[in-house]
Amino acid sequence: MHNGPNNKAARVASRAQGNISSPQPEPSRTIAQEALYSSFAASTISTIQFDEFEYDYEDMEGRQNGDYYPIDIDDRLNERYRIVHKLGHGTFSTIWLALDEETRKYVAIKVEIAQSDGSEGDILTEISQSLANSNISNDKKLLIPTLLDRFEISGPEGTHPCLVTLPARHNLKNAQYNAGTELFQLDVARSLAAQLAIAVSIVHEQGYAHGGELSRDITGFQNFSADTHRAVDIHLRNVLLQLTTSLDGLSVEKLYETYLASPKSEIIDLSVTTYSVERVCFSVPGHEITLAEAKLTLSDFGTAFRPADKSRYVSYADLELRPPEASFEPETPLDFASDIWSLGCAIFEILGNRPLIDGGPVIDGDFERPGEITVRQVELSGRMPSTWWKRWEERQNWYTEEGRPLLHANRAWPWERRLEEWVQAPRQTSGMETLDEDELAAVLKLLRDMFAWRPSDRPNISKVLSSDWMTRWALPAYQKGLREQKDLEERKGLGVHNGLEE
C-alpha cells in the first residue's frame, strides 16, 4: 500500500496512542502479495468489486486529509486482528480481511471514515443481540451480518469506528456480471428471492427499515466510479453470498498460496496506487451457483433507521430503485413500504438478466433522467394518483393530461414484456428452466402489488412472504436448498458452518 507523508505521520501518531501495532517479523512475502487487491471474500457489511480485473483506486485526498485510516498488511488492530489482505473500499470506509489472533479465525473488518457516526455498529449490535437471544434458526440468523466485535481507532481527523463480521463471497451483482448472458438457475433464483425477503422481514421485525438517507455529502468524491455510490438500499450489490468453505484453519501463507492470484500489473504513481489482477476462484459465475451454495447475507446497514423513532423524508437510493413517494410526497416520512418497493426491484433482477428499471446509459452514453425513470414506473404501475400526476413537472413530455402516452406504443415496456424478454426469453435461449404459466402469473401478481404507487397500498413483508409465489415456489426452493446444504456438509464431515457452531 502506498502511503504519503501525511499518512505516515498519522500512523506514527496512531501507534503512539496504542491503536495499531507494528508488524512482527514474518516469513517474507512477495511485493505482489503485499500489494495485491483481491475480492475472493467480501465484508458482510460493504465491499466494492470490479470482477474480471480488480482495481484498487482510492481517493488519495481522502486518505491524506485523514478521512481514511492508513492501514498496511500485517498491522494489528485493537491488539488482536492481524491485517491479512484488503477486500475493498468505498466512500465511507475501507474493508480488510484479518486473522483474529485470539480465536484463530478469519474476519472482515470495516474501518469507517473519521466522520462516521457509528450508527451502523449500534444497529448491528442491537439486531445481533436480539437474534442471539431468539429461537430463530441458524440459517436465518446468517441472513443478517453477525457483528463479532466493534472498536474504535483514533486518527488525526477523529475517531474511526471499526466493525468486525464474518467474511463472505462476492455480491449477487458480481455473480450476474461474471455469468455474462446466463442467469441464475431457476431454483437458485427462487431460493435467493425467498432468503432476501426473509432477511428484510427480520430487519422489519426489529423495527428497522433498511434504506434511508446518507449522512454525508458525496459530491466531494467525484474520483470514485458511479458504482462506489451504489449499495445504499436493498440492492443486489448489498446481497452477499456466504462462503461455502471456511477459511479458518488455513495459515496466512496457505491462504495466499491457495486463493490469491498473481497480479497482471502493478502501477504506482504519486497520487494513486492501481493494481490489476486476475479474477480469483471465489468469484463464481451466477449460473454455476448450485442450490446448496445459494446462501446470502443482506449487508450495509449504514442508512437503516427506525421509522417509529426518527422520520426520514429523503431517499438516496439509486434513481431506478427509489420509491416514488420520495419524489412526489417529500413531506411524508419514508417507512417500511419503501423497502418493499426496493425489494420488488431486487426480486425481478434475481429472476432476470437485467434490472427492472435500468438507470444505466440508454442513448449515446447518456443516463436516464429522473423523468424517464418515472415513465418506466408508469408503464409498470399505470397512472399515478392524481395529486402526483399534477405534481409531475415532466409529465407533459410523455403523457397527455388524460394519461395517453405521446410515444409510439412499441416503445413501452409493461410488466408482461419485461418478464418475457428479460426473464423467460434468455432462459429459453440458454436452455434453462422457465417459469410456467401459473408461476408467471403468481410472480406478476406479487410484483404488481409491491409496486403500488401509494405506500399504504403495498403489502407488508409478512404478506410478501405469504403470497402465492413465495409459498408455492420461492420458499419451497429455499427449504430444498437447506436440505441440500445439510447433505453436503454431512458428506464433508463439517460440524461448523461459516464460523458459527450448529
Radius of gyration of the chain (CA): 23
- β-bridge pairing 496-497 and 500-501: antiparallel
Q: Which one-letter amino acid corresponds to residue 344?
A: G
Is residue 339 helix, strand or coil? helix
Q: What CA–CA distance (Å, rounded) separates 327 from 218?
A: 20
Q: Is 110 annotated as a binding residue?
A: yes
Spatial neighbors of 277 by CB under 8 A, at least 6 apart, are: 36, 37, 38, 53, 54, 261, 262, 263, 264
The C-alpha cell that represents 142 in the structure block: 446468517
Helix (H) or strand (E) holding 252: helix 252-259
- Cβ partners under 8 Å of residue 181, min gap 6: 353, 426, 429, 430
User: What is the C-alpha to C-alpha distance for residues 378 and 386, in angstroms, rounded to an integer?
Assistant: 13
Torsion angle of C-alpha atoms 160, 166, 168, 173, degrees rounded to 10:
-50
Is the distance from CB of 235 to CB of 346 less than 8 angstroms?
yes
Residues in binding site: 110
Residues in binding site for ATP: 110
